Amino acid sequence: MSEDMMTQVERGGYGHAKRLGGYAARRLLRAGAKWFVTSVLPAIAAPLAIGIVCLIGISLFMVWTFGSAPVDAYNMPERAEYERSARECFPVIVSPDAEEERHRLTWGLLAAVDHFAGGIQDGEAKFCGVETALALRPDFEYRDSVVIHERRVKEDDGTTGVIRTETPVKLLTRAHTYKGVYDYSYKWVTEQDGDDRTKREVRDSWEFRADTRKLEALLRDRLCEEPSAELVMMIDKAGEAFTSGKENLDWLVNEEEAWIVDAMGDNWESDLPPPTGEFIWPVEAPVTSPFGNRVHPIYGVTRFHSGIDFGVRSGTPVRSANDGVVRYAGSAGGYGLLVAVDHGGGIVSLYGHNLLAEVEVGNSVKRGQVICMSGNSGVSTGPHLHFEIRRNGKAIDPIEIIAGGGG
């Protein structure tokens, strides 16, 4: 056989082998695909579909509630300007106990209004902080009162006299904020310090009614259309997220444990002795969501619910479940405005989604004392109270400790 013929045979053999190899590869690929479709895909189809549906649902909720994309407002250069606007546009404080302070605007709210009402576009900020702060700052109403100071003194003849002075003051009676209207009531108290006695009026209680007309009017002017209730809630909650240093979608993806650890740390040790008195419920209201596994009202998937939800309107007084010391009072991610009370013996009660806190960290509280007012802050679809009991950091069913009457 000639050399040319040998070359052709070799080439032909190589080509035939190449064709066989390709054919085998195609058969193998088809067999593998058939196995995947008939065996693997049915096994993972249902979980995969559920996961995709949940992901789409969560994404849609986030977009509906907090806008189309995260905004790192905390690190925006305009943040300092928003802070200055919120500070300088606030009315002058005149009440003796500075009750007005609790109604200060946050820089995050001003940034949220700009973001959702045309102020921040394509990452570029159109700063409207001053105008927003002036439009949303609270309006205060006052009434006249006096602080009476009496001092016992000895006269030259040995008798005891009293020197009395009266100092006029202004008491805050109403605060009309972008969230609603707060009406304050007062009571007289007497404070004795040796020979000095002071009589004055102090805040006894207050009532709240939701009224978002301030924010609605601003949005109507900015958008040239009637704002939806969803937009109003979206701006309020995005303002919370911005102020807390989170991107507006970031705080939704964490579990409750992450929020708690971020706010309070993971050390649950207490120097207080175990509680002795009976625990009480913080409000008298229907239970809207019990302790344990449930279908989450926002995420739509089964998740562990670490407390009990009570259906109450915003501004409902929330009472401490037992004597203790306030361990935390402030923003806590999806918990919103959170108050936590250490009762000793590793027992801590938590109260979430509040409107206002009536206590500060380190305050001693008594069972039944009002510690906060319920609200709709954090990851919440409506006003309610989230009540939690933790033993050594682990959430337990509050019914165990309250029905059991002790630690």
Q: Determine contact, residues 329/361, Cβ cutoff 8 Å.
A: yes
Q: Give the least confident one: 214-218, 303-307, 390-394.
A: 303-307
- Cα separation, 180 vs 44, in Å, equals 50
Q: DSSP letter for 13, please.
A: H
Q: Is the pLDDT reported for residue 113 higher than 50?
A: yes
For residues 188-214, b (16+ Cβ closer than 10 Å) or e, as one string?
eeeeeeeeebeebbeeeebebeeebeb
Structure tokens at 343: 């009762």
Q: Determine contact, residues 326/365, Cβ cutoff 8 Å.
A: yes
Q: Give the least confident one: 107-111, 138-142, 208-212, 259-263.
A: 259-263
User: What is the average per-residue pLDDT within 77-91?
Assistant: 92
Nearest to 210, CA basis, from 315, 56, 332: 315
User: Rounded to 5 degrees, what angle do the CA atoms 281, 284, 288 make?
Assistant: 90
Domain ranges of the chain: 1-66, 73-243, 254-404
Structure tokens at 160: 């005891």
- Cα separation, 339 vs 369, in Å, equals 13
In order of 13, 222, 250, 378, the CA distances from 333 in angstroms are 71, 29, 9, 6
pLDDT value of position 22 = 43
- Residue 127, classed as helix, strand or coil, is coil
pLDDT value of position 1 = 40
Give the burial class of 21: count Cβ atoms within 10 A of its Cβ; 0-12 exposed, 13-18 middle, 19 or more buried. Answer: exposed
Q: Which residue has the higher pLDDT, 112 or 303?
A: 112
Position 61 confidence tier, pLDDT thresholds 50, 70, 90: very low
pLDDT value of position 88 = 95
User: What is the average per-residue pLDDT within 144-165?
Assistant: 90
Q: Give the least confident one: 20-24, 237-241, 339-343.
A: 20-24
- Residue 377, classed as helix, strand or coil, is coil
| Range with the largest mean pLDDT of 135-139, 217-221, 238-242, 257-261 | 135-139
- Cα separation, 234 vs 116, in Å, equals 9
Residue 270 CA to chain centroid, in angstroms?
25
Q: How far apart are the first and last CA of the chain?
A: 101
| Element containing residue 188 per DSSP (H, E) | strand 180-193
Q: What are phi and psi of 101, to 5 degrees?
A: -55, -35
Ordered alpha helix ranges (H), 36-163: 41-66, 79-88, 107-116, 129-136
pLDDT value of position 20 = 35
pLDDT value of position 241 = 82
Beta bridge partners of 405: none
Position 69 confidence tier, pLDDT thresholds 50, 70, 90: very low
Other CB atoms within a 10 A radius of the CB of residue 123 amount to: 9
Q: Which residue has the higher pLDDT, 293 or 372?
A: 372
- Residue 301, classed as helix, strand or coil, is coil
User: What is the average per-residue pLDDT within 27-37?
Assistant: 53
User: What is the average per-residue pLDDT within 247-260?
Assistant: 59
pLDDT value of position 14 = 35
The dihedral formed by the CA atoms of 237, 240, 242 and 248, expressed in degrees to the nearest 10:
-30
Structure tokens at 126: 């159109």
Q: Which residue has the higher pLDDT, 128 or 2?
A: 128
Q: Which residue has the higher pLDDT, 10 or 217?
A: 217
| 209 CB-side CA count, 13 A | 4
For residues 25-61, b (16+ Cβ closer than 10 Å) or e, as one string?
eeeeeeeeeeeeeeeeeeeeeeeeeeeeeeeeebeeb
Q: Is the pLDDT reported for residue 148 higher than 70?
A: yes
pLDDT value of position 35 = 56
Other CB atoms within a 10 A radius of the CB of residue 96 amount to: 16
Q: Is the pLDDT reported for residue 70 higher than 70?
A: no
Other CB atoms within a 10 A radius of the CB of residue 388 amount to: 22
User: What is the average per-residue pLDDT within 180-190?
Assistant: 96
Nearest to 96, CA basis, from 149, 43, 136: 149
Write out pLDDT tens, residues 324-358. Answer: 999 999 888 788 899 999 999 999 999 999 999 99
The architecture that CATH gives domain 254-404 is Distorted Sandwich (2.70)
Q: Give the least confident one: 154-168, 205-219, 253-267, 368-382.
A: 253-267
